[in-house]
Amino acid sequence: MKTPSKSCPKASPSKSKGSSCLKVIKFLLAAFPSVVFGVFTIVFTVQQHITGIENRKQDQKQADEQNIRSTFENYIDDISNLLLDEKFNRSNSEHLLHIRVKTLTTLRHVDINRKRDIILFLYESRLLRNDVPCNERLSLQDADLDKLTFQGSSSNPIQLDNLYLPGVYLSNAVFHWCILDYAVFDNSSMANVRFINSSISHVTFRRIYAPDAIMGDLVFHENDFTGSMLVRTSFVGGTDWKEEVDLTNTDLLDSRGNHGQLINWNSVPENVLILVNARLPNGSFHQINSTELISDGGAELGCQTDLTENAWKRGPYGSKIILSPISTHPSISISSSNENCYFLADSLNASSLTQLIDVHSFSVLIHNEQARYNMSAYLTCSQDKSSEAWIKLAFLKNNYLWIDSHKVHTNQVKPRNIFATTGNIPSYTRFIRVELHAYIGESYARCVFDNLRLRIF
Ligand SMILES: *[C@@H]1O[C@H](CO)[C@@H](O)[C@H](O)[C@H]1NC(C)=O
Ligand SMILES: *[C@@H]1O[C@H](CO)[C@@H](O)[C@H](O)[C@H]1NC(C)=O
Ligand SMILES: *[C@@H]1O[C@H](CO)[C@@H](O)[C@H](O)[C@H]1NC(C)=O
Ligand SMILES: *[C@@H]1O[C@H](CO)[C@@H](O)[C@H](O)[C@H]1NC(C)=O
Ligand SMILES: *[C@@H]1O[C@H](CO)[C@@H](O)[C@H](O)[C@H]1NC(C)=O
Ligand SMILES: *[C@@H]1O[C@H](CO)[C@@H](O)[C@H](O)[C@H]1NC(C)=O
Ligand SMILES: *[C@@H]1O[C@H](CO)[C@@H](O)[C@H](O)[C@H]1NC(C)=O
């Protein structure tokens, strides 16, 4: 008996079965070339397909690269020709606008190396500099400079002093070993920006939006950060605070130092850092500017003038509240000491006087709903039932849209009094309008306001 063929281990020992096994083998052998060919074809096709994709990717990449290069070259040629043209006039706003439009479009279509080259080109052409007259500066407001990278070295720092880049998108940008003295970055949006080992004396960063920024090995000297958002910023390496750095109204929540610890700003000498209205790393506000906000709240400066140069503005009514010398009137008494004038409403019907107060420098405090006001005033009317005087505070957004009003004082409750009222300032308030209102119902009646004071605390 034959032992079953190794290639057919499961075949039974019977002869007939053995021969059918042989047939299968023969068939397979016969089919082998076409099977091999088939497999080869499939493999080859798949591989060709992959190579095709890769080639096309390669081609696409080359085409993109070619596109970027020609966009860039066209741009540089175009602007160079313009700059060399004898008709070109740096202080002609239309010429600058042409460059601005070209630049913004080009910046959208190039890679980060070309972005850097474009900025350098414009800077070296003296169009992006803070030390040329205002009307010769190119505005790149809203330009997309995301990931812009200037990478110098200790022996060869990049010269960018007086660089003028306000109002641009600089997220993830890097300034490493750069000389940036007197540069302007105001209003720029620069989340994750890195300023490292650079010289930044006199650089202004007003109202920048820069959460998660890294500031490493820098000497701060005469820098202005007013109104900036610096949440989670890391100040690392040998950071030093030399002379007057203005951090008024900045948000420093969670800002950290070398070993990830919250910065103790109190350890920096007080005459170096200005931290008025700033939110400290632990969320507290240390110094709030509580100076008087109302100008001429005693009617002394505008006394008997037509108010054109005064902070007070008349309301829309025909009747007027006037800034009048204090007179003795039988129906009202005023206990003034060394003052000469007050606000007087003595004509029939409604009258008003308003003053708009800008509170942008309290925006962080207000935004975090920690701002309160304290309004006080002297307010009185002659004692007839038909006359009334009141003070209203209107809270307005930065576009002057109304948010809320508080009627803070009225004389109808208690005549002849000095009120001090406190309340919360709604979030998003950027202006407070102080409004003096009077309604005189009888011809002999009159109302008086004096010593208006408004403070934020
Ligand atoms: C340049 O343009 C400004 C503003 O349009 C104009 O005042 C000035 O005279 C022009 N200068 C020259 C040299 O044409
Ligand atoms: C920044 O924005 C403010 C408010 O919009 C504006 O008054 C100021 O001129 C801007 N600063 C620069 C340098 O463009
Ligand atoms: C600044 O440069 C020094 C010297 O090259 C280097 O040791 C240091 O790490 C750099 N600082 C940062 C924050 O990278
Ligand atoms: C917050 O930090 C400041 C110093 O940075 C410190 O004086 C103050 O006591 C801290 N406040 C709280 C509530 O921890
Ligand atoms: C406080 O605010 C007033 C008026 O808004 C301003 O003149 C003064 O410089 C501010 N003081 C500080 C310390 O910022
Ligand atoms: C006061 O208002 C009444 C009605 O509203 C009007 O008839 C009258 O003329 C007004 N008087 C003055 C002095 O404006
Ligand atoms: C509000 O201001 C008045 C004086 O203008 C003062 O007497 C009073 O203590 C202040 N109130 C608060 C809560 O600060």
**Which one of 271, 286, 291, 295 would you pick to mutate in the ligand 5 pocket, going by the greatest count of ligand atoms within 8 A of its CB?**
291
Q: Are residues 251 and 153 in the same domain?
A: yes
Q: Examine residue 387 and state whether it is found in any structural domain, yes or no.
A: yes
Residue-wise pLDDT tens digits, 156-213: 999 999 999 999 999 999 999 999 999 999 999 999 999 999 999 999 999 999 999 9
Quick one: average pLDDT of 236-256? 92
- Cα–Cα distance between 347 and 353 in angstroms, integer? 14
Q: Are residues 46 and 175 in the same domain?
A: no
Q: Examine residue 7 and state whether it is found in any structural domain, yes or no.
A: no
In sequence order, the 6+-apart residues with CB closer than 8 A to the CB of 115 are: 107, 145, 147, 148
Q: Are residues 317 and 449 in the same domain?
A: yes
Torsion 74-77-78-80 (CA) sign: positive
Q: Examine residue 15 and state whether it is found in any structural domain, yes or no.
A: no
Instruction: Identify the weakest region by mean pLDDT among 26-40, 312-326, 390-404.
Output: 26-40
Which residue has its alpha carbon closest to ligand 4 atom 11?
A: 284
Residue-wise pLDDT tens digits, 375-433: 998 888 887 778 888 999 999 999 999 999 999 877 764 555 667 899 999 999 999 99
The number of the ligand nearest the C-alpha atom of 217 reads 3
- Cα–Cα distance between 265 and 257 in angstroms, integer? 10
Take residue 456 and report the two structure tokens written for it.
Answer: 């934020």
Q: Examine residue 150 and state whether it is found in any structural domain, yes or no.
A: yes
Q: Examine residue 25 and state whether it is found in any structural domain, yes or no.
A: no
Q: Are residues 445 and 334 in the same domain?
A: yes
Q: What angle do CA 357, 358, 363 make, to 5 degrees?
A: 130
Look up the CATH number of the domain holding residue 210.
2.160.20
Q: What angle do CA 85, 91, 92 make, to 5 degrees?
A: 70
Residue with the larger pLDDT of the pair 329 and 362: 362
pLDDT band, very low/low/confident/very high, at 23 (cuts 50, 70, 90): low
The number of the ligand nearest the C-alpha atom of 214 reads 3
- Cα–Cα distance between 192 and 233 in angstroms, integer? 8
Domain-terminating residue out of 93, 126, 159: 126
Evaluate if residue 328 carries a pLDDT over 80.
no
For residue 9, the model assigns a pLDDT of: 41
Instruction: Identify the weakest region by mean pLDDT among 21-25, 184-188, 258-262.
Output: 21-25
Evaluate if residue 286 carries a pLDDT over 50.
yes
Q: Examine residue 131 and state whether it is found in any structural domain, yes or no.
A: no
- Cα–Cα distance between 135 and 141 in angstroms, integer? 15
DSSP of 148-198, one letter per residue? -EEE--SSS-EE-TTBB-TT-B-TT-EEESEE-TT-B-TT-B-TT-EEES-
DSSP of 409-442, one letter per residue? EETTTSSSEEEEEEEEPPTT--EEEEEEEEEE-S
Residue with the larger pLDDT of the pair 60 and 412: 60
Q: Are residues 68 and 168 in the same domain?
A: no
Mean pLDDT of the chain: 86
Is the Cβ atom of 14 under 6 angstroms away from ligand 4?
no
DSSP of 238-259, one letter per residue? S-EEEE-EE-TT-B-TT-B-TT
Q: From the CA of 374, how far away is ligand 7's center (Å)?
A: 6
Q: From the CA of 91, how far away is ligand 1's center (Å)?
A: 6
Task: Provide the domain count of the chain.
Answer: 3
Look up the CATH number of the domain holding residue 367.
2.60.120.260
What are the pocket residues of ligand 3 if the criterion is a CB atom closer than 6 Å to any ligand atom? 154, 196-197, 216-217, 236-237
**Which one of 317, 347, 349, 352 would you pick to mutate in the ligand 6 pocket, going by the greatest count of ligand atoms within 8 A of its CB?**
349
Evaluate if residue 280 carries a pLDDT over 60.
yes
Domain assignment of residue 352, given as a range: 313-456
- Cα–Cα distance between 145 and 134 in angstroms, integer? 22
Q: From the CA of 92, how far away is ligand 1's center (Å)?
A: 6
Q: Examine residue 30 and state whether it is found in any structural domain, yes or no.
A: no
Q: Are residues 318 and 448 in the same domain?
A: yes
Residue with the larger pLDDT of the pair 119 and 240: 119
Domain-terminating residue out of 270, 287, 304: 287
DSSP 305: S
Contact 317, 438 (CB under 8 A): no
pLDDT band, very low/low/confident/very high, at 334 (cuts 50, 70, 90): low
The amino acid sitting at 57 is K
Q: From the CA of 291, how far away is ligand 5's center (Å)?
A: 7
Which residue has its alpha carbon closest to ligand 7 atom 14?
A: 374
pLDDT band, very low/low/confident/very high, at 262 (cuts 50, 70, 90): confident
**Measured from the CA of 135, which atom of ligand 1 is nearest?**
4
Instruction: Identify the weakest region by mean pLDDT among 104-113, 140-149, 337-346, 436-445.
Output: 337-346
Which residue has its alpha carbon closest to ligand 5 atom 12?
A: 289
Is the Cβ atom of 349 under 6 angstroms away from ligand 6?
yes
DSSP of 386-400, one letter per residue? T-EEEEEEEEE-TT-
Q: Are residues 121 and 150 in the same domain?
A: no
Residue-wise pLDDT tens digits, 345-364: 888 889 999 999 999 999 99
Quick one: average pLDDT of 292-314? 84
Q: Are residues 185 and 68 in the same domain?
A: no
In sequence order, the 6+-apart residues with CB closer than 8 A to the CB of 176 are: 149, 150, 151, 152, 194, 196, 197, 198
Is the Cβ atom of 386 under 6 angstroms away from ligand 6?
no
pLDDT band, very low/low/confident/very high, at 340 (cuts 50, 70, 90): confident
Spatial CA neighbour of 323 closest among 356, 351, 293, 291: 351
What secondary structure, in 3-state letters, does 93-156 show?
HHHHHHHHHHHHHHHHCCCHHHHHHHHHHHHHCCCCECCCCHHHCCCCCCCECCCCEEECCCCC
Q: Are residues 278 and 335 in the same domain?
A: no
Q: Are residues 317 and 388 in the same domain?
A: yes
Q: What angle do CA 294, 330, 383 make, to 5 degrees?
A: 70
Contact 210, 232 (CB under 8 A): no
For residue 18, the model assigns a pLDDT of: 52
**Measured from the CA of 347, which atom of ligand 6 is nearest?**
13
Q: Give the CA diameter of the chain.
A: 144
Domain-terminating residue out of 247, 272, 287: 287
For residue 54, the model assigns a pLDDT of: 80
Q: From the CA of 175, how far away is ligand 3's center (Å)?
A: 13
Q: Are residues 324 and 393 in the same domain?
A: yes
Instruction: Identify the weakest region by mean pLDDT among 20-24, 322-326, 436-440.
Output: 20-24
Residue-wise pLDDT tens digits, 109-157: 999 999 999 999 999 999 999 999 999 999 999 999 999 999 999 999 9
Quick one: average pLDDT of 270-286? 92
Q: Examine residue 17 and state whether it is found in any structural domain, yes or no.
A: no
Residue with the larger pLDDT of the pair 262 and 88: 88
pTM here is 0.82
Secondary structure (3-state) at 209: strand
Q: Are residues 174 and 119 in the same domain?
A: no
The amino acid sitting at 143 is A
For residue 5, the model assigns a pLDDT of: 42
